[in-house]
Each structure stands twice: as structure tokens, then as C-alpha cells.
Amino acid sequence: MGGDTGTAVTMKTLAERLGVSVTTISNAYSKPDRLSTELREQILAEAKLAGYCGPNAAGRALRSGRNDVCGFLFGGELAEAFADPYTVAFLAGLSESVERFGASVLLLRAPHEGEETEAQLLQRAAIDAIVTCSPTSDHPGMQAVAARGVRVVGAQNSDSGDWVTINDTKAGRLVGKHLDRLGHRRIAVIVPGHVPEGEVVELPADGSTCSRFAAERIRGLREKLPDATITVVSAGWKPKQAGRLAAAHVLDAQDRPTAVVAMSDALALGVWDAARERGLTPGRDLSIVGFDDIPDAGFVGLTTVRQPITDKGRLAGRLAMDPDYPQRQITLPIQLVVRSSTGPAPKN
């Protein structure tokens, strides 16, 4: 079979063999309507016979200027990305819409400081656009993207550029209002990041050192809970563990909060564990609120602010692949979903 000499078959060799021009071969693959059906069929058949594997991707990309690839930048190890339901749902939407544009998704990890290899990976990736889906836009090394020179779509608020996100201040207000009505006055907020694994840190209660999305949510929260005591804690990037650790910190403190607001459901589930370990029943002894509404939230009965994660991914993909899409900054609707994890503040 495959009667060639062993060297790679290229359009040129195939063209010589068939006595047609290279362009015609190219058209046979990429623009079927530019040549007669018979000729196309013949070319395709001969190509298979000669062992030609179709147009070389790099050549095509170079000349055409398109890679048909959308980068997905995750601010952590990729293994974690897959373990996080939020990210998974986002990726599902993203890949669906990217696929619709005839492109695929390339997984990239945001380089941390000093990680030369990862930075180069990002640098070298043949992509047309990049979608960032990190909990925070100021994740260490996330700036490296800017230097890349491709279209960037963020999944979080920022002043400029393309993004698709939710109104975080409003999200915070929704939670604040809910907790206020229930009478909560001592509240802990758990945010992702800030410290290496295993450590816990208490942050300024105004959210000034937090990433933007967290700061805005905290702002909304405070608006509706003007006379509440709010503590902000962080315990690293790995959500479940961080949630558990941070919650442990605040629950073992002097004036234990009556409600914990976690910046994601994944974090909230960690809080859940910590509560359980201390014999506290969520919704009765301790109110827990999350954000996102991942499937597990419904399963355990977590009160949360729902956002259309998969749609977010879909839209991010569209913005990334279609530079002409008019609306470049999209705010998606949110909704407070009250479940059993919140209840009246215990009388103390």
C-alpha cells in the first residue's frame, strides 16, 4: 500500500503526480466549490493512495494566519481544573462553542513566578485567542497573557478588554440582603488565593487586598449588612481544602460567626466539612452560602448565587473566536437560590 518512497508526501509531490497545480490540491481540501466534483474526488482518492495526510497544519496556519485554536488558561494545575465543577462546566460551554467555529481548545496553565517553562508554553502556543478562567484576574503570572499578543477574553470583571462575567456587587447584595433578613451580624467571608497551601490568613475586611471580583462581592455584602462584623479569610487556591481550613480558622475563634460566605460553592463545600467536623448543622448552627450553583450545591442543599456557568463558557468562546461579535463585555444574570444551608442566626 501507500506507494511512496518513504519521504513525506506534500501537496507539491501530489500535484506533480497528478499533473495539476498545488493550489488545486489545496482547493480540493479547503474550497470544494472551486473545482469540479470529479477532479476533487480524483484528487482525494489519489491522495489517500499516496499516503497524503491532508494539508499540513503548520503551513496552513502560517499562511492563513489562523490556528483554529482557542487557548484556555487556568490559574493552577490542570488537574485541579478538572476537579473543579465550576471549571468543568465552563469548559463544557467553551469547547462547545469553540467547536462551532471549527476550532479546538488548548489547555494552558498560567505560569507562576519563576516558572520559565510554563511561560514559554504560553508564549509558544499556536492560538488565535485565549480565554482565562481564573478565580482572579490578578493571579500571579496572569499578566503574561497580555504580552502574548492575542485576543484575550476574561471570565471576570476588568476595566478594559473583552469579558463575560456577572455583576459581582449585585451578587454580594443578594447574599447580604438574605443574611440580613435572617439576622446574621457576625459573618466570615472566605476568598480563594493569597497564601500557599496549608496556611490561613486574615485579610482587610474591606476587601481591598482581594481580587476584584471578591472585593466587589464584599462591597455588595457590606452594603446590605451595614452593622455586621465581617471577617475576610483565605487559605489558598485548592477550593475544598482551602474552604475547610479557612472555616476551621474562623469557627475555632472567639466570637464564632453565624454565617460563612464562601466565594465559590467548591469553597463552601469545604466549609461544610469543617462545620460537620465540629458538630455544627449547616442552616441551623451555621449558615453557609456559596456562589456558582454547581450540581453538588443542589445535592447537599447549599444556598448559593446561581450563575449560568456553561453559558459563560459558551459566550467566552464566541468572543474569543469571533472578533466581530459586537458585544464585547457581557454581564450574565444571576439569581439567589435559597436552600437549607441558611437559616435564622442562632440566638447565641
Partner DNA sequence: ATCGTTGACTTTATCGATCAACACGGAGGT
Partner DNA sequence: ACCTCCGTGTTGATCGATAAAGTCAACGAT
Residues at the contact surface with DNA, assessed by CB under 7 A: 8, 10-12, 19-24, 26-27, 29-31, 34-36, 39, 54-56, 58-60, 62-65
Query: Nearest 10 degrees: CA dihedral of 254, 259, 261, 266?
Result: 90
Binding at 121: pick from a second copy, DNA, none (beta carbon under 5-8 Å per type): a second copy
Maximal C-alpha separation, the chain? 89
In angstroms, give the least distance from the CB of 30 to a second copy: 10
Nearer to a second copy, 98 or 275 (CB): 98
Nearer to DNA, 53 or 338 (CB): 53
Q: CA 82 to CA 273: how far, in whole Å?
A: 21
In angstroms, give the least distance from the CB of 38 to DNA: 7
In a 13 Å sphere around the CA of 131, the CA atoms on its Cβ side amount to 30
SS3 content of the chain, % helix, strand, coil (to 5): 45, 20, 40
Site for a second copy in 24-53 (CB under 8 A): 51, 53
Q: CA 257 to CA 134: how far, in whole Å?
A: 28
Q: 318 CB contacts (<8 Å, ≥6 apart)?
A: 97, 101, 325
Nearer to a second copy, 99 or 223 (CB): 99
Q: Confirm or reject binding of residue 58 to a second copy (CB under 8 A).
A: yes
Q: Confirm or reject binding of residue 134 to a second copy (CB under 8 A).
A: no
In angstroms, give the least distance from the CB of 181 to DNA: 59
Between the alpha carbon of residue 133 and those of residues 4, 33, 89, 130, 284, the distances in Å are: 47, 39, 11, 10, 34
Q: Confirm or reject binding of residue 161 to a second copy (CB under 8 A).
A: no
Nearer to a second copy, 71 or 257 (CB): 71
Binding at 208: pick from a second copy, DNA, none (beta carbon under 5-8 Å per type): none
Q: Residues 16, 34, 62, 335: which binds a second copy (CB under 8 A)?
A: 62
CB–CB of 68/79 below 8 Å? no
205: nearest Cα among 196, 217, 195: 217
Between the alpha carbon of residue 39 and those of residues 33, 52, 53, 90, 281, the distances in Å are: 11, 17, 18, 44, 73
Q: Residues 23, 56, 281, 327: which binds a second copy (CB under 8 A)?
A: 56
Contacts to a second copy by CB under 8 A: 51, 53-62, 67-69, 77-79, 82-83, 87-88, 91-92, 95-96, 99, 102-109, 117-118, 120-121, 123-127, 147-149
